[in-house]
Amino acid sequence: MRPIQATVSQHALAHNLNVVKQLAPHSKVMAVVKANAYGHGLFNAAEGLNAADGFAVLGLNEAIDLREAGFTQTILLLEGVFDARELNIAASYHVDVVVHSQPQIAMVQQASLIAPIHIHLKMNTGMNRLGFEPNAYQQAYDALKDSANVAGITLMTHFATADETLGVDKPLDTFHSATRHMANPKSVANSASILRYPITHLDWVRPGIMLYGATPVSGTPIEYFNLKPVMHLTSELIAVQTLSAGESVGYGQRFTAAQTTRIGIVACGYADGYPRHAPNGTPIAVNGKLTQTLGRVSMDMLFCDITHIAEAQIGSAVELWGSQVPVDAVAEAAGTVGYELLCAVTPRVPMKVVD
């Protein structure tokens, strides 16, 4: 068996959830576990985050899986449902749904449900993806509040720039202005706003990436927020080569040695989820020592500089990301974000859960 492995720490999940609770002690926590819990495994994450008040998912199948596994918390479908049949299934499993469009309102009004359903009514405050415009929000609310199919309504929005200089002041003011006459629970805070803007800690907060130990704020490491990495992607050296000056390694000769260089060949490639576009110099650790990748990432292998790690040999441990090598550092080098790397780990990589 290839030595590559992803390890998921439930202790780190619980720790990061506790950070959220300490930051927002008066809010309920809706842990976002969409996209297979950002690549960590839905049940792996849900068990580690079992102290959360709710779970947010994308697909109805994920919601059903959580219910059938015995999770009793609030479960929310972040994009709502796409046809009336799904709405009835959601009602039968006591799953909350986001409503963000007029057709979804009509669907709720016209459905014959076995039980009323709780709605999270979404406002568009600048993201311009989903949600009702602020000047149409009251009408959408009125259309739902008296329906026999609606058990209750939570008011929600999603910030576009909570992680950037623009911040949340303008969209938050827009949201509060449009909902000032509504006494319903409110849900606005994502990871970045949980960490940066206590004013957004309303009835619910919705942490996502911060639960998995990656930063939602570019340029700010997780240690600053007292977060711990949850996933450790590790492998081993499966070969060692020595390049003379002028020799290259890998496809396209993207690295050519200027002097004698020891190269470690790592059992990990883009078919495992490592970014193919990671350049020379992307951080990596071998035998607990930081070094850098060299050459082009292959489908099943990548290469690193072990010239200064004399003890490195076939079988030496490699950390692609984890405690020594932050996933955000790999992402920054590759011109992407930690979210993408965590979600991109492929099914062929064995995943082990540890306490």
- The pLDDT value recorded for residue 218 is 87
Catalytic residue chosen out of the listed positions 170, 224, 251, 352: 251
Give 352's strand partners: 7
E strand or H helix at 238, and its extent?
Answer: strand 231-243
Altogether, the residues listed in the chain come to a count of 355
pLDDT 10s digits, 21-44: 999 999 999 999 999 999 999 999
- The pLDDT value recorded for residue 59 is 95
Asked about 38 being catalytic, the answer comes back as: no
Alpha-carbon gap, residue 88 to 101, rounded angstroms: 18
Alpha-carbon gap, residue 283 to 294, rounded angstroms: 10
Count other Cβ atoms within 10 Å, centred on residue 173. Answer: 11
Cα–Cα distances in Å, from 106 out to 86, 102, 109? 14, 6, 5
Alpha-carbon gap, residue 122 to 56, rounded angstroms: 14
Query: How is residue 285 annotated by DSSP?
Result: E
pLDDT 10s digits, 93-132: 999 999 999 999 999 999 999 999 999 999 999 999 999 9
Catalytic residue chosen out of the listed positions 34, 122, 270, 274: 34
| Mean of pLDDT over the chain | 97
pTM of the full predicted structure? Answer: 0.95
Q: Which residues of the chain have pLDDT under 70?
A: none
